[in-house]
Chains A and B, each alone.
Chain A
Amino acid sequence: MAEPIEGRVAVSSNGNVPTRDTHARNVGRESVSRLLPSSATLRAQVRQWWPYYAMMAPGLIFFIIWHYVPIWEAKMAFEQVRIIPPNIWVGLKNFQVLFSSPIFYQVLANTLIISGMKILFVFPVPIIVALLLNEIRSGKLRGTLQSAIYLPHFLSWVVISGVFIALLSPTDGAVNQIQTALGFQPVSYMTNTGTIRWVLVISEIWRSAGWDSLLYLAAIFAIDPQLYEAAEMDGANRWQKIWHVTIPGIVPTIATLFILNMGMFLSADLNQVINMQNDVNASTIDILDTYVYRLGLSTGEYALATAAGLFKAVIGMILVVTSHLVSKRLTGKGVW
């Protein structure tokens, strides 16, 4: 496709106006093929752009050292770790120990249930929050609200669990006092196996919905205002503008974050669970991470912990690839 002539809008053969994304991608492809450096020009380019390479270097080095080099050490999952080298190769023994544990499948089920609930009930909330914030016309009010809902993100789970335990106390917790005043029986939410997973979901929403809405809000602000103007000219009301302009505009962001979330599906938040866990609810919210922490890290069984980590990583990767492919098929957007 020819490059758009300045001041005109290029129209494709089917009559559709290309979006900014597809235009940029097409231009990008041509530019990349044209600009791919030969070995002869590479040095000249490095010399020309060295400040940018220098700025990129710390991040790159960080990723190589802390994210790529450790991948090699995942072989520990197949070894008996010896402090005095060498480690002894034990094949799949650590995985067998992990999978043969009487409570492993209960722990796995808990993880899947809690992660599933979070995807279902937590993931959409920041999107809704961002849409609502976007509808506030007063900049001052929006700024104040944004600051207020970001705040919980900066609290640790130790503090948040303390707040929730106090709030939900069956004897003097505010929630139960309101419930009692309304004529309901008090409920011990923290020690009730039927309610504790909902406590996890609600506390997660309270902590992260505001902060996570930032990305969606940024995506909303990036939507071309002309689209809203065009919609208004077509007589769209506020709801129709949200439905037909805003939401389609942030679908790529939603798809990307959803796919990335799927990669963390088996990590149902160790910090949150470990702080909310007690003897009564342990069987309901004991997740892979708490199990590995207890059995692996606290007793020095690092190979076992690595095996569990590798298991999680493989499942996470499968989920990422699957979600990417599904997203590509449904929305045309993915992470690559």
Chain B
Amino acid sequence: MTLKKLLLATTAIAMLAGLAAPAMAQTTLRLVSKDLLSTNPDDMKEIEAIEAALKAQGVDVDIQTVDLPGGTSAYVEALGIMLLSGDIPDIMYFQGGDQKMADQGILEDLTPYIEASANVKAALWPHNVDRLANYPYLLYIYPPRAPQPVIRQDWLEKLGLEAPKTVEEYEALFQAIHDADLDGDGTAGNTLGLTGFGNTGELDSIFNQAFGVTGTWMKNADGQWVNARVTDAEKAKIEFYARLAEKGLFDKEYVTNTFDVKEDKFYTGKAGVVFGSSPEVIDIYAGKMRQAHPGEDIFLTLLPIPSGPGGRGLAAVDVSKESRGWAISSLSEHKEEAFKVLDFMASKEGQDIDRLGFEGTQYTRNDSGQVVFNDAISTWYARFFNAANWTPPTPLLSPTAQEALDTIKANFVADNAFVWPAEFAADVDATEQVYRSWVAKFITGEAGLDQWDAFVAEYNAAGGERMAEHARTVLGE
């Protein structure tokens, strides 16, 4: 009897051990991201698909997502506090606050991993390569964000104007929008040529180069590096913005507008031109515009980059570091596996999951096997990457958005901004505040351009001079 029990027990233990063996080979990876939450079924479905695909490649990982509050600022705060408390996941998505962690050695240098990678290296955009060379802790494979202006195609046709190619032609277009009764409310002169939100960052995207603001740091008449914000080129640009605002062509309320207010003004015909921050956003605008005007077949037209007294091009892209992206903990015991996840997401198979969604949900296949997207694709978004070398089986972007992406690719210019040492944090903050405050005052008419020298003096006193001295040591002759 006792022997029988012993045999039974031994058999049971052996069976349990057999069952446990595969589980023990599995690597658990903790991942924290603003856009991957256990409460979102789509997110979990993607995670399961990634795990299954990796397992088929012989990489058995269990990806456990860490839920943090949504919203950028809440996420940044919560992530910082979590890391500070010593809870450091293997894979982390940062949207700010990463530099402090990198300074403390918490983030893994990704250079050797990328060099040896099967997919990431080939998926990088040119600016990613530059940013990783300067700051090898964050990986964010996306085209650079370069806002570009769009207008309703039917409005442009009604005005009988060509798409503007110079700064003057832009002003003429805004004036024409303003003067015409394009929204059909019976009153001419109540439509803004252009609206925006928060600051002038969107406008700078196409007007910086036109006015000769070629980068963050420019050489003055004495051949010394100075911040572009205190140059004559910048003054000319701000003068142009202020003139547009004074004539009622540019929305003076841009400073109080939120992004949804900006969009609303566009959809309701209160403004003729807005900037889309990325090709995907331009398609969202087009979709929302059609929703706001059911029955009307409205398309958006991308307006070209204008030439001006200083040249032509998109604003120089800051390549000092990624401002957001994926990092791997240097304390992780599974760094190799963690990078394999990121590498997989940059592969064709990973991109197919991340960009297209799931067959039967976001798309179907027709008889010839071609991918046909359905309505659910409009709410699907990439959680990881937008690889430079991936081509969708069916175009994901509209011709207008694709044109915007092509423009970004063709006009990439690297900026000369660099990462500031921690001791300059207060100066960077102070000068940013002074600049933004004065620019908004110039444009809204609270201050006149004759006060430009007062702005420059305040900017330099707020830390601008000290920062310029440091820049000269970094940038050399």
A86 to chain B, nearest CB (A): 12
| A82, B103: Cα distance in complex, Å | 10
Q: Mark A174-190, 1 if CB is under 8 A from B, else 0.
A: 00000000000000101
Q: 3 closest pairs, A vs B, by CB?
A: A300-B100, A279-B440, A101-B426
Contacts of B105 on A, CB cut-off 8 Å? 84
Q: Is B80 an interface residue (CB 8 A)?
A: yes
Please give 7 more A-B residue pairs, beta carbons under 8 A apart, in addition to A83-B83, A191-B253: A191-B440, A278-B256, A279-B437, A280-B440, A298-B76, A299-B97, A300-B101
Q: Is A97 an interface residue (CB 8 A)?
A: yes
Q: How many A residues face the partner with a CB closer than 8 A? A: 35
Q: Is the CB of A82 within 8 A of B104?
A: yes
Contacts of B73 on A, CB cut-off 8 Å? 298
In the complex, which residue of chain A has the Cβ closest to the Cβ of B445?
A: A188
Q: Is the CB of A280 within 8 A of B433?
A: no
Q: Is B296 an interface residue (CB 8 A)?
A: no
Contacts of A188 on B, CB cut-off 8 Å? 252-253, 444
Q: Of A100, A102, A162, A191, which contacts B255 at CB under 8 A?
A: A191
Give the B-binding residues of A (Cβ under 8 A): 81-84, 97, 100-104, 162, 165, 169-171, 188, 190-193, 278-280, 282-283, 286, 291, 294-295, 297-302
Q: Is the CB of A191 within 8 A of B446?
A: yes
A274 to chain B, nearest CB (A): 9
| A285, B101: Cα distance in complex, Å | 31
Main secondary structure of the interface of A (DSSP, over half): loop
Q: How many B residues face the partner with a CB closer than 8 A? A: 43
| A83, B437: Cα distance in complex, Å | 35
B249 to chain A, nearest CB (A): 14
A242 to chain B, nearest CB (A): 42
Q: Is the CB of A83 within 8 A of B101?
A: yes
Contacts of B444 on A, CB cut-off 8 Å? 188, 191, 280
In the complex, which residue of chain B has the Cβ closest to the Cβ of A101?
A: B426
Q: Is the CB of B425 within 8 A of A191?
A: no
In the complex, which residue of chain A has the Cβ closest to the Cβ of B427?
A: A102
Contacts of B430 on A, CB cut-off 8 Å? 101-103
Q: Enumerate 22 A-B pairs (CB-CB under 8 Å) in ascending A order.
A: A83-B104, A84-B105, A84-B106, A84-B331, A100-B426, A103-B430, A103-B434, A188-B444, A190-B256, A191-B255, A278-B255, A278-B440, A279-B437, A280-B440, A280-B444, A282-B433, A286-B433, A295-B429, A297-B77, A297-B80, A300-B84, A301-B425
Q: Is B27 an interface residue (CB 8 A)?
A: no
Highest count of chain B CB atoms <10 Å: which of A82, A83, A170, A279:
A279
B246 to chain A, nearest CB (A): 13
Q: Is B164 an interface residue (CB 8 A)?
A: no
Highest count of chain B CB atoms <10 Å: which of A97, A104, A191, A300:
A300
Q: A101-B429, A295-B426, A300-B101 are in contact. Are A193 and B446 (CB under 8 A)?
A: yes
Highest count of chain A CB atoms <10 Å: which of B73, B256, B434, B462:
B256
In the complex, which residue of chain B has the Cβ closest to the Cβ of A80?
A: B104
Q: Is the CB of A299 within 8 A of B99?
A: yes
Q: Is the CB of B252 within 8 A of A283?
A: no
| A97, B86: Cα distance in complex, Å | 26
| A298, B427: Cα distance in complex, Å | 16
In the complex, which residue of chain B has the Cβ closest to the Cβ of A164?
A: B256
Contacts of B252 on A, CB cut-off 8 Å? 170, 188, 191
A319 to chain B, nearest CB (A): 26
B288 to chain A, nearest CB (A): 19
